[in-house]
A = this chain, B = another copy of it.
């Protein structure tokens, strides 16, 4: 991992862009973090729209987390942003678009092709990023995962013991195979559901919540569509991490 830029935001948060091999990423640390007082880390998940497009929302979440004493980091997803095109992923997204535009039901095949290869590829990348991030002074565990793609969060919660808590956004298609993985999740979960999410199937989200094996799991359902998460729902997720990572 090497840093390619560093700037101090107006609230004192340090924002550093980095490269991990071919993968670009961003690390935000609170002004208070130091080698003797390291900040627990939250990994910021996001949809495959490219870090540049997602930046305004990501930096807002990073600032909020920094105010609570947490470092945050994110990496570019494969096939997104400046990373090389990924033909299989583009094909899957084109198939999804076609089904949605035709008003057809989205088949299991489309969902599997859209999500499963992404999960298989991204999770080891997140783990490599974790190795690098946790070796930095000023950053420590326990680690949280926050956001979507929810299937990435599920797989990470199952395979990565350094992830101690996850706030998952039930806002994306979930392959049937991930329901089985969800049963193996045991860490505390905070699941956010937008009740009228246009890109989501409400009953599937409720079934997924039911499937999680965690003893502590909370579902927060709010009104509105995919991008309409109310401010107080973000506050509640922040308190969830304060309870479990501090």
User: A-side interface residues toward B, CB under 8 Å?
Assistant: 195, 206, 209-210, 214-223, 230, 232-233, 235-236, 239, 243
Contact = CB atoms under 8 A, between A and B. Distances in A.
B223 A221 contact: no
Given A206-B206, A236-B236, A221 B222 contact: no
Instruction: Count copies of this chain in the complex.
Output: 2
Contacts of A233: 218
A233 B216 CA distance: 12
B243 A221 contact: no
B232 A223 contact: no
23 contacts: A195-B210, A195-B219, A206-B206, A209-B221, A214-B223, A215-B223, A216-B223, A216-B230, A217-B222, A217-B223, A218-B220, A218-B221, A218-B222, A218-B223, A218-B232, A218-B233, A219-B220, A219-B222, A221-B221, A232-B239, A232-B243, A235-B239, A236-B236
A241 to B, nearest CB: 12
A210 B236 CA distance: 21
Contacts of A216: 223, 230
Contacts of A195: 210, 219
A220 B220 contact: yes
Please name the 8 residue pairs, one residue from A and one from B, whose CB atoms are nearest each other, closest first.
A219-B221, A218-B222, A217-B223, A220-B220, A236-B236, A215-B223, A218-B220, A216-B223
A84 to B, nearest CB: 41
Given A218-B220, A219-B220, 8 more contacts: A195-B210, A214-B223, A218-B221, A218-B222, A218-B232, A218-B233, A219-B222, A220-B220
A210 B206 CA distance: 13
Nearest to A217: B223
A221 B220 CA distance: 7
A215 B223 CA distance: 7
A171 to B, nearest CB: 16
Contacts of A210: 195
Contacts of A223: 214-218
